[in-house]
Amino acid sequence: MELEFLGTGAGVPAKHRNVSGLALKLLDERNAIWLFDCGEGTQMQILRTTIRPRKIEKIFISHLHGDHIFGLPGLLSSRSFQGGEEPVEIYGPVGLEDYVRTSLQVTKTRLAYSLKFIELSEGVIFKDKQFTVECMLLDHGIASYGFRVSEADHEGMLQVDKLAALDIPAGPIYGKIKQGQKVTLSDGRVIDGKDFVGSSKKGRIVTIFGDTRFMEKSSQFAKDSDVIVHESTFNKDEAKLARAYFHSTTQQAALIAKKAQAKKLMLTHISARYLAKEAKELEEEAKEIFPNTQIAKDFDSIDIPFS
């Protein structure tokens, strides 16, 4: 599980930051990539990475402001040209399907795969044996959502080497041992399966917030996250401006991470007025409240290990 930032800027593209785009790479888990937001130029950003568009399985759009969706029709079209044949599920607010289908229709674009649109409402929007995705309505003037991606716990691995060392041959009996059962071997030995199964691993949690004002309940939504991705459009002294423009400050994002008892905070949606030195100052502001904070740059990639 890995996060790769394709665009970390706010509002309009800049030389040093493209607008919003974030890939959750689940190549080991399901040989797929989930994309969160798709601002203008996202497919150009992808060309500078190892991401293959045909691997994009799901796209989650937080809200319908242009800096989060203007790149979507182009990406979908290019994916078709680049060998993408598997269906894509697109999750987003009411109106997203009209926008995408109209764009494709007007430009006479035909895709080699099908699209399935899922309109967002609070609660669980996707669940299978591996992952659960929940969304929460934020405060941004228009419908804007945050997403919580929770991985199922991993069962402990069968310790085959230990079994082989005891001359226990492979076969159906391994299945019973893997389930933690006590089994009697043909030579009379009794084996307790619990002694041959490694420790389970708690599933990882990633919470990605769309554009939003500070909300107290966000910390509960992001509870125990391994990584929180949160916008940071304004500095700590601009709380009134942040509220007026339906955005958040550095320290408001940090407070959410602290209350959520998260492991790491990634700040994104950075205004173009903050260059390298100023952006570093934003990071330091957040660290005053939540030390394990990093301000994201385009093409930053972070691995999300097991605890």
Binding-site entries for Zn(2+): 63, 65, 67-68, 140, 211, 269
Using alpha carbons, list the distances in angstroms from residue 136 to 105, 223, 265: 31, 13, 18
Active site positions, annotated: 67
Instruction: Extract the annotated binding site.
Output: 63, 65, 67-68, 140, 211, 269
Distance between CA atoms of residues 178 and 185, nearest Å: 15
Q: Beta strand 115-119 with 2-7: parallel, antiparallel or unpaired?
A: unpaired
DSSP-assigned states of every residue in 235-278: -TT-HHHHHHTT--BHHHHHHHHHHHT-S-EEEE-B-TT--HHH
Closest CA to 227 of 1, 73, 30: 1
- 206 phi, psi to nearest 5 deg: -125, 130
What residues pair up with 232 in beta bridges, in sequence order?
none
Q: Which residue has the tokens 């159906």?
A: 172
